Amino acid sequence: MRRELPPVVFDHPKTGFSIPLHRFQNAAYAALARELLADQAPDGLHALLAPPALQRLLTQGLARQTDDVESSVFRASHQLWALMQLAGWLRRFRVAC
């Protein structure tokens, strides 16, 4: 097969890929996101980020359906996912900020 295909097929460096998270968001996902980002423990996520910023990222991450100049659906959903992971980690390991 190597003889039939161009060298770039075999010499191409491995690259990662991202999944379209926004396609998998449902009511349970939204409820979990709201729960994690609403946790106002004094040593939690609210100690790191201002509540208005968290609310904005939550709203954009769950509601964005189209791309615009400021953000994309892909970016908004991945930012929300990253915040959910951080909030869950802080809660799980009781990390004080």
33-52 residue pLDDT tens: 999 998 777 677 888 899 89
| DSSP one-letter string for the chain | -TTTS-HHHHHPPP------GGGG--HHHHHHHHHHHH---TTSGGGTS-HHHHHHHHHHHHH--S--SS--HHHHHHHHHHHHHHHHHHHHTT---
Q: What is the per-residue pLDDT for 18?
A: 83
Q: What is the pTM of this model?
A: 0.78
Q: What is the per-residue pLDDT for 42?
A: 66
2-39 residue pLDDT tens: 899 998 888 888 888 888 998 999 999 999 999 999 87
- Residue 13 to residue 63: CA distance in whole angstroms: 36
